[in-house]
């Protein structure tokens, strides 16, 4: 099962600002399974985003770039940086399940995008050195940013890591399809209804999921009906 978003209904899931912040880290990874449905948007739409300042500006995100029908990864090292982006090569087909992953190596000046466990593109960024700023991200969203950019489709198994996963680790997570095959430095995992990605089942109501998500702000583990969050104990 998964979250079923209806773009015309302006649906999104807002995650607590106490979640992973990518604050003062040398690398980071975000990933999820996504299935865009219906007519694909012709503009860029957010799939999973950490906001740097509470607006639509992304510190770290994955999105669907409708103009190219490709997935995109975006990241910035400092609050004032302009975002660096890389686009994938897979032409996205509506009704198809994909695993997408963005890896930012802030201390190694690289941004990488993986689709279905395979690196599709990367970029070397001048000026990316050492760690990110020590300013906490203020918010995180699934299926939108703070100002709109909604999409229609399913999302599940949303994860974040406070380090840059290796290519083999990304492939292991993709191959695991729901198993915790990589847990070192995992900050958050949102299973969005419990079942492994791709399982059949009735997608859950966003309204109910949003209410349940607000209850999962506890260290280590939190379990609720329909949505599960696994968090790293600090």
* 12 compared with 69, residue with greater pLDDT: 69
10-19, 42-51, 102-111, 169-178: least confidently modelled range: 10-19
- Residue 172: pLDDT band (50, 70, 90) is very high
- Residue 18: pLDDT band (50, 70, 90) is very low
Q: Domain coordinates of the chain in residue numbers?
A: 3-231
Specify the CATH architecture of the domain 3-231: Sandwich (2.60)
pTM for this predicted structure? 0.81
Across 66-81, average pLDDT: 89
Distance in angstroms (rounded) separating the CA atoms of residues 156 and 192: 5
Q: Give the pLDDT score at 22.
A: 82
Please work out, in degrees rounded to the nearest 5, the angle formed at the alpha carbon of residue 115 by the alpha carbons of 110 and 118.
75
Q: Mind listing the pLDDT tens digit for each residue in 191-225?
A: 765 555 555 444 444 444 444 443 333 323 233 33
Q: Give the pLDDT score at 113.
A: 98
Please work out, in degrees rounded to the nearest 5, the angle formed at the alpha carbon of residue 34 by the alpha carbons of 107 and 154.
140
- Residue 93: pLDDT band (50, 70, 90) is very high
Q: Give the pLDDT score at 143.
A: 60
């Amino acid at each position: 099962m998964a979250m079923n978003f209806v773009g015309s209904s302006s649906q999104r899931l807002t995650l607590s600002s106490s979640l992973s912040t990518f604050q003062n880290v040398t690398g980071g990874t975000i990933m999820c399974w996504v299935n865009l449905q219906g007519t694909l948007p012709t503009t860029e739409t957010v799939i999973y985003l950490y906001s740097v300042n509470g607006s639509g500006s992304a510190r770290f995100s994955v999105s669907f770039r409708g103009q190219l029908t490709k997935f995109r990864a975006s990241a910035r090292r400092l609050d004032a940086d302009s975002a660096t982006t890389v686009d994938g090569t897979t032409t996205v087909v509506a009704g198809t399940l994909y695993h997408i992953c963005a890896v930012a190596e802030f201390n190694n000046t690289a941004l990488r995008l993986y689709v279905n466990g395979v690196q599709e593109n990367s970029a070397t960024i001048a000026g990316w050195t050492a760690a990110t700023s020590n300013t906490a991200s203020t918010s995180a969203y699934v299926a939108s940013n703070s100002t709109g950019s909604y999409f229609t489709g399913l999302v599940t198994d949303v994860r974040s890591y406070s380090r840059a996963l290796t290519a083999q680790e990304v492939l292991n997570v993709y191959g695991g399809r729901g198993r915790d095959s990589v847990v070192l430095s995992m900050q958050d995992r949102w299973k969005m209804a419990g079942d492994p990605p791709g399982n059949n089942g009735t997608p859950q109501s966003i309204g109910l999921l949003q209410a349940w998500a607000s209850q999962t702000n506890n260290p280590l583990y939190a379990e609720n009906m329909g949505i599960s969050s696994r968090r790293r104990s600090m």
